[in-house]
């Protein structure tokens, strides 16, 4: 069974990069792509992904607010891991992402199959 991934980013070029990285990572598959935080909340509920790759800077609600809403909506359902991806520096956004409930933060420039597999492993280790 693959780990099912929802990609959230308002920029098509980065969604393409994210999709490629996910497809190149063993055991992961893309189940959806959305452009806004609002749509991510709906899709997380409808598609029940295992992992959400969440941009920070989105039109409408921010990726951090969307993260809070997604995690609030799954309390009694299947757990979901949110990883925040941004062009911003990890120093600035890492703590804010974790405060919003995200399992981690990855700089977009560092995003790769290895980084994804490593972030998933650390998010799901007990």
Q: Could you tell me which stretch among 3-11, 15-23, 32-40, 44-52 binds Mg ion (CB under 5 A)?
A: 3-11
Tokens at 73, concatenated: 């909506």
Q: Based on the shown chain and the rule CB under 5 A, indicate whether residue 62 belongs to the binding site for Mg ion.
A: no
Given a contact cutoff of 8 angstroms between Cβ atoms, the answer to whether 40 and 73 are in contact is no
Q: Which of 57, 62, 107, 112 is in the footprint of Mg ion by CB under 5 A? A: 57
Helices and strands (H, E) in the chain, number of each type:
5, 5
Taking the least distance from each CB to Mg ion, the nearer of 9 and 50 is: 9
Q: How far is the CB of 125 from Mg ion (least distance, A)?
A: 29
Token pair listed for 27:
């055991």
Q: For Mg ion, which is the closer residue by CB, 33 or 55?
A: 55
Determine the Cα–Cα distance for residues 64 and 58; give it in Å rounded to an integer. Answer: 10
Answer yes or no whether residue 39 interacts with Mg ion by CB under 5 A: no
Q: Are strands 81-86 and 3-8 parallel, antiparallel or unpaired?
A: unpaired
**Could you tell me how many residues of this chain bind Mg ion (CB under 5 A)?**
3
Dist CA 123 CA 110 (whole Å): 17
Identify which of residues 10 and 38 has a Cβ nearer to Mg ion in the complex: 10
Q: Is 10 in the site for Mg ion (CB under 5 A)?
A: yes
Query: Taking the complex as a whole, how short is the minimal distance between the CB of residue 2 and Mg ion, in angstroms?
Result: 26
55 binds Mg ion (CB under 5 A): yes
From residue 2, alpha-carbon distances to 29, 30, 58, 68, 116 in Å are 6, 9, 28, 25, 14
Judged by the rule CB under 5 A, the positions of this chain that interact with Mg ion are 10, 55, 57
């Amino acid at each position: 069974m693959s780990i099912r991934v929802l990609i959230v980013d308002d920029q098509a070029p980065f969604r393409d990069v994210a999709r490629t990285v996910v497809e190149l990572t063993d055991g992961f598959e893309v189940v959806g792509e959305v452009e806004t935080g609002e749509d991510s909340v709906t899709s997380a509920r409808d598609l029940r992904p295992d992992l959400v790759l969440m941009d920070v800077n989105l039109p409408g609600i921010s990726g951090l607010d969307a993260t809070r809403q997604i995690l609030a909506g799954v309390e009694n359902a299947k757990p979901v891991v949110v990883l925040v991806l941004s062009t911003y520096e990890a120093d600035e956004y890492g703590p804010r992402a974790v405060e919003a409930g995200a399992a981690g933060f990855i700089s977009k420039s560092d995003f790769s199959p290895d980084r994804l597999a490593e972030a998933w492993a650390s998010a799901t280790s007990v």
